Amino acid sequence: MPVRQIEVDGNRIIVEVAHTDATRESGLMHRRSLAEDHGMLFVFTEPERHSMWMMNTIIPLSVAFLDEDGIILNISDMMPNTVTPHRSAGAAKYALEVNLGWFKKRKVQAGSRVTGLKKMPAVE
């Protein structure tokens, strides 16, 4: 997967970019760890209400759903190996997964802006 750097309210994150059906489907499944200030950015084909879940994912994660302009719509905490759907609060073009509590620790919340999205590979 391509790797890029983005910023969330001035906090840098190195993200793997899930921009294909296959990479969006597998996400962070079966990973044993995720480095601090690293994550995965899911790029969806269309902005719409998307859902994420944690099947076969053993790392506790937080997910932020972003609109086309990089504004965080909502953030949800997700527990390992669950199939509970975590839905975007509106039309999301992106989802950003990071270690559980990353957003809270940095006081990032709905309405915060993510920059660097224009450098992402096109959806395939």
Domain contains 39? yes
CA distance 53 to 121: 23
CATH number at residue 94: 2.60.120.1140
Q: Which residues span the domain enclosing 74? A: 3-119
| Segment 12-35, tens digit of pLDDT | 999 999 999 999 999 999 999 999
| Segment 31-70, tens digit of pLDDT | 999 999 999 999 999 999 999 999 999 999 999 999 999 9
**Please, which residues bridge with residue 18 across strands?**
42
Domain contains 124? no
Domain contains 74? yes
How many domains, the chain? 1
pLDDT at 93: 98
Domain contains 85? yes
- pTM of the entire structure? 0.96
| Segment 109-119, tens digit of pLDDT | 999 999 999 99
